[in-house]
Structure 1
C-alpha cells in the first residue's frame, strides 16, 4: 500500500500543467467518477493505510507485582514495616492499576514515594500504583500496622495482593517479646515470616518483666533524657535562601515527649523520627513530638528537622544571623556546618558558637546538595537558650587583580 501511495503521489505531482491551470485531478471508474482536491485525495489514502494496519496486541498480563520485600520492627502493640516493592508494567500507553497492599483502620502510612511516570493512589481498601508508561518500578512504602489483642498476646494480619515473591524480615528484642505461630524461620539476628493465602500474620506476646534481675539492675538509676550530640548542616543560595538539616542524637528510656521552639521567620519543612518521615503539628512555632527508641530495648533514637529561611539577596557586604530551635532537652554538644557562597568571605562576629577546623561526618535522612565553602562551628552544653551565630561577610577579592589603564 505504501509503495502504491508513493507512485500515486509522484504521478500527481508530475501533472504540473494541469494544476497550474487550477484544474483538479479526476478519478475515473466504471461506476462513476469524482474530482477531488489533492489534499483530500491524500487524506483518503492515508486513512486507507491506517485502516489496514494491524492493531497492537495487548500483553496477556498488563502489569504484575513481582516482588515484595518487607522489613519490620516489632513494637509493643504494632509492627513498624517498610515494604520494598517491584512492579513490572507490560502494557504501553494504557492506564493500569496495580494493587499493592490492603489497608484498613489499623494501618497508618508513614511515607509514600515520588515515582516518575507513576503515582501511588490510596483508597479506603488498598494502596495501588497507577501508570500508563511501560517499565519496571522499584520503590518503598513505610507504615505502622496496629495489632489486635488476643487471649494470648497480640496478632497483626496484613493482606497482600498476590505478589510473585513476598516475605517479612522481622527484628525484635527477644528479651521483651516472644513469637508465636508457624511459617517462621529463625535466623541469627532476625526472623523470616512467610504469607499464607496472601495474608502475612505475625503473632507475638510480651514477656513478663521480672521483678528483680539482680542487684545491679535493681540499683540502676533511670536514664536521663538528653541529646548527646546535635549536628546542623546548612546551605545557602546566592538568592539568600537557607536550607538547614538539624539532627539530634537522643539518649532516653522508654517513650518520652520532646518539644522544639522554631525560630521566627523559619519554616519547618519536614521531620524525621529514627530516619522515618513523620507528620507533626506546628502550633505557634512549637513542635511537640513523642519519641521512642530506634529498636525495642534500646536507649537511643534520632530526630531530624528540615528548616528553611529566606534572608534576601546578598550585597557587597553585610551580616547574617543564624538561630536554631530551642529544645526542651539539654544538649551535650552541637556542631554547625555552613555551606556559603564562595564569592564572599565570612567571619564570625558574635554568638554562642565557636569556629573549629572541621566537624565529624553525619548521615541525614533528607538529602540535599552542598555547594559553596564550608565553615564549621561547635558549642558545648546547651540547656535553655537557643544556639545563635552572627557572621560578617564581604566580597572575596583574593587573587583578583584590577589593573588601571593609563592614557
Structure 2
C-alpha cells in the first residue's frame, strides 16, 4: 500500500535551498515517523494539584473559635480548570477573610473552601474563619473538618486559662496542640465563672478647704506696697472660690499652679473656678497678687493692713511684712498676732530674700472674715550718733 503525503517546508524566508513539493512514501516507512512524533508530546501530570503545606492557628473567645488557616498549593495542570478543596464549611463555620490571588480564586464552592484555577503554579492561601459552638449553658464545642485534598494537621490553640476550661482536649497551659481525629478537629471548652466584682465604694465629695496660706507684704519708703498670698487648696473636683479684696487694693494677677488665670473683679469681689491640675489629685496652689498705696511714710504713724476674705476656711495663715528698715514697728491691733519667726520662717525667708525689716505674723482658723493687722511705726534712732 502506498500513501501519498504533501509536505511543505517553510522556515523563515523561502529560498532556493529549501525545496517544496510532494512525495509518496510507503506506509511502513511513515509509521515510525508518526510514532516518533507522539513520543515528543509531554505526558500529563499524575495529579492536577497538591497541597504541600498546611498550618492552622486558633484562639478561643467566649462565643467562637477563631481560626487562621495557611495553605500552600502547587497546581501542576495547565490550561484546564482545577479545583482544590481545602476545608469543609459546615453550617456553623463562617469565612471572615479570603485572599486575592493572581490567576486563581478562593471561596466557598459546594459547601467547601476551594481554590479554582486554570494556570499552573504555586499559590499561597491565607484565610480566616469563625467556628460557632454548639451546646447550651457554659459548655461549648466546635468541629472543623478538612477538605478532600488536605491531609489533616494539628491546630495550634491559644486559650486563656483564667477565662476558659478545656474539656476536649484536656490539657494545661495557654498554647495547646489539638490533633485531628477521623479527619476533623474538635475543641470543647467551658467558660469560667464570672468573678464577683467588688462593690464600688463611692467616696463622698471632699469638702474644699485651705490647710495653709502664706502672705507677704513688701513696701517702699514711698508707700508703694505689694501683697502676695499663696493658698494651698484641698479639693477633688472643680469648685468655686470667692475672694473679697480689701478696700484700696487692686488685683495684679492670679495664678493656679503657676498658670495665669483670666480673672475679673466686680464690686471688689473675685470669683474663680478652681480644680486640681491633674486628674485624681486633691491639691492645688492659688496665688493672688495685689497692690495698694500706703502713702508716704512720716517720722511716725500707723499702718492698717488687711488680706482678702476667702469663702473657704483657712486652717493656718502666716504672714511676713518687709517694710523700710529706718523704722521701728509695733503691733497695735488686728486679728493677726506677731511671733518670732523660728527656723521655719528663716528657711522661708532664705528661699525668697526680700529687702526691708522682716516681721512675722500668724492667725489660726480663719473663716468668713478678713485677716487684719494694725502697725504703729516710728523712726529707728538706735543707730543714730545723737541719743
The two structures have a TM-score, normalised by structure 2, of: 0.46
The two structures have a TM-score, normalised by structure 1, of: 0.44
- Give the greater-gyration-radius structure (CA): 2
